Chains A and B, each alone.
Chain A
Amino acid sequence: MSNETTLNIEPDANAAIKAECRNFGFYYGDFQALKDINMPLYDKKVTALIGPSGCGKSTLLRSFNRMHDLYPGNRYQGEIVMQPDNTNLLAREVDPIEVRMRISMVFQKPNPFPKSIFENVAYSLRVRGLTNKSELADRVQHSLKGAALWDEVKHRLNDLGANLSGGQQQRLCIARALAADPEIILFDEPTSALDPIATASIEELITELKEKVTILIVTHNMQQAARISDFTAYMYIGELIEFGVTDQVFIKPKNKQTEDYITGRFG
């Protein structure tokens, strides 16, 4: 197998790079889960990570907010450089908490805290030391609107987050991720636990969010990747096989393996 990533990018003059993996690798203990990944994330675009189960999509996604630092034995290699400040997020001297304050995350299964709807969203602000009541209320409202949830919950902000439906819970988690104005939001298969209607509303939301923030999303659903992403990265056993403009990757994949996966011949 070639180690060379196939790049499939039309010259896209107005897309700036928000972050970039450079010779990035990752180890769970002795097991190398990611190898030599070079991939840009374009500013205020949606980039989809696709590939067969176990190929390392979540591992790559969770490297961006240094989630792997929570567990012993994990090791990063290479760099993930964030712009405009040119910070290597993986550098030893960069605090993972600082990284997580700039890059927020939405999980596969909705994971609202067992707190009120209000407190769930406010939590991102509280960890940043915000205590002013009216400012908290304003920003919670703003985030809930941004997550297209406000109208459904404005009269029950003190209800438990867990009392919402699955799709609403996921939008609550998106509101929580939005609350502190992140530069990038990471989504790990955010609709895999949801029904088609809730999925559609999350997809629509993601398309709206990219006006303001850069998005990296893992999905196992080809149609979803085709519908919502601007760029697509196809991974296979820890390697990035092809990266390119979504339309190009789906219509004219340059790599045979990508084509086989997309057309459903394996995976």
Chain B
Amino acid sequence: MTPQDLQAIRNIIARAKRWDAFFGVLGILALMVGVLTFMTLFVDMAIQGMGRIDVGFFTNFPSRHAGQAGILSAWVGTVLVMIVTGLAAVPLGVAAGVYLEEYAPKHWVTDLIEINITNLAGVPSIVYGLLALGLFVYQFGLGQSILSAGLTLALLILPVVIVATREAIRSIPQIIREGSYACGATNWQTVRDHILPYSSAGILTGVIIGMARAIGETAPIITIGALTFIAFLPPLPFAGEPPAGLFDWLFAPFTVMPIQMFNWTSRPEAAFQANAAAAGFILVLMTLAMNGAAIWLRYRLRKNITW
């Protein structure tokens, strides 16, 4: 190799490396657009709303006076709806995922179901709202209740739970399954003693991520008829006069955090905008807390699982 050749190679490398640097910068910029936009929004919301956040904000019902208004009915409603959502989506989604992975014969029918589930995840949430309005609210007569809302959101996150379950199950090595069957275990014993315990971390993560998505859903909840102004709480079991039943709260009218926010942002008075910002800040914190819980749970549950 002559010195000229060497110089030529170095020139080529230098030119190629300029593109390296160029893409590096481009990538960082692209990342910044996303991260900075979110950070700005979040910080702006925090600054705007911070003045409104005190104990009273959590313990007061909404009010015509912005300074006295709080999110009591909204956060209670959100928590209760989420409980129903979780209780409905987890058993259904996990059972469906386990069936597809461990029981279903692999042929075109299961392929078709798979494609459908993936597509279901992409259906706009308001369509679920319409479906739920017809099915839960009117057909089943559940009314415009916490139960209807919880079931609607459960439908919405069902594909997420199914997909998470299947992925968690698929990450279990085949040799562990074979070990179980070789001991003489049945299909169900293998699922109960191995598949479910070893995939629980992944499943829980999926459930929580699904719930974090559901917690901010507004359109389907409005569609089934959640109220925007609620100045009472759902009845506690066995409380009040005449005493409420154990499950009466399921059928109570309700509101949720995003609807409360929406209601406040549509008011002309500036003071209500601060309320909306404060509520939004808390909603984001709730979502972040759920994602944090997902990460922690995954870490905790996976600690004892090595293949």
Taking beta carbons and an 8 Å cutoff, which residues of A are in contact with B?
65, 67, 70, 72, 97, 100-101, 104-105, 107, 109, 111-114, 123-124, 126-128, 160, 162, 173, 176-177, 180
Contact in complex: A107, B183 (CB < 8 Å): no
Residue of B nearest to A109 (CB): B175
- Give CA–CA (A107, B184) in the complex, Å: 15
**B245 in contact (CB, < 8 A):** no
Question: Which 10 A-B residue pairings sit nearest by Cβ, starting from the closest?
Answer: A101-B184, A105-B182, A114-B305, A100-B184, A111-B179, A111-B175, A162-B306, A124-B183, A127-B185, A127-B184
Complex contacts, B185 vs chain A, CB 8 Å: 97, 123, 127
**Which stretch from B186-194, B218-226, B236-244, B271-279 is at the chain A interface?**
B186-194
Measured between beta carbons, the chain A residues less than 8 angstroms from B194 are 113
- Decide: A176 and B305 in contact? CB cutoff 8 A: no
B48 at the interface (CB under 8 A from A): no
Q: Which residues of B contact A (CB under 8 A)?
A: 105-106, 173, 175-186, 189, 193-194, 198, 304-307
Contact A65 B106 (CB under 8 A): no
The reply to whether A111 and B176 form a contact with Cβ atoms under 8 Å apart is: yes
Is the CB–CB distance between B182 and A114 below 8 Å? no
A45 to chain B: closest CB distance in Å?
A: 22
Give the residues in chain A near B175, CB-CB below 8 Å: 107, 109, 111
Report chain B residues within 8 Å CB of A114.
176, 198, 304-307
Distance between Cα atoms of A152 and B193 in the complex (Å): 26
Known contacts A72-B105, A111-B179, A113-B179: does B306 contact A180 (CB below 8 Å)? no
A123 CA / B180 CA spacing, docked (Å): 8
Contacts of B307 in A (CB 8 A): 111, 114, 162
Within the assembled complex, what's the spacing in Å between the Cα atoms of A216 and B289? Answer: 55
Within 8 Å CB of B177, what residues of A? 70
Q: Are A127 and B183 in contact, CB atoms less than 8 angstroms apart?
A: yes
By a CB distance below 8 angstroms, the chain B residues around A126 are 193
Q: B182 and A65: CB pair below 8 A?
A: yes
Which chain A residue has the least Cβ–Cβ distance from B106?
Answer: A72
A18 vs chain B, min Cβ distance (A) = 19
Q: Which residues of B contact A160 (CB under 8 A)?
A: 304, 306
Which chain A positions have C-beta within 8 A of B186?
Answer: 97, 127
Contact A67 B189, beta carbon cutoff 8 Å: no
Q: Is the CB of A67 within 8 A of B306?
A: no
A104 to B173, CA, bound (A): 19
Min C-beta distance of A35 to chain B, whole Å: 25
State the Cβ distance, B297 to closest chain A Cβ, in Å: 17
The distance in angstroms between the C-alpha atoms of A239 and B183, with both chains bound, is: 29
Least distance between B252 CB and chain A CB atoms (Å) = 44
In the complex, which residue of chain B has the Cβ closest to the Cβ of A102?
A: B184
Residues of A with C-beta under 8 A to B184: 97, 100-101, 104, 124, 127-128, 180
- Which B residues are CB-close (under 8 A) to A105? 182
Cβ A100 vs Cβ B181 within 8 A: yes
A127 to chain B: which residues have CB within 8 Å? Answer: 183-186, 189
- Assembly CA distance A65 to B189 (angstroms): 18
Complex Cα gap A105–B189 (Å): 18
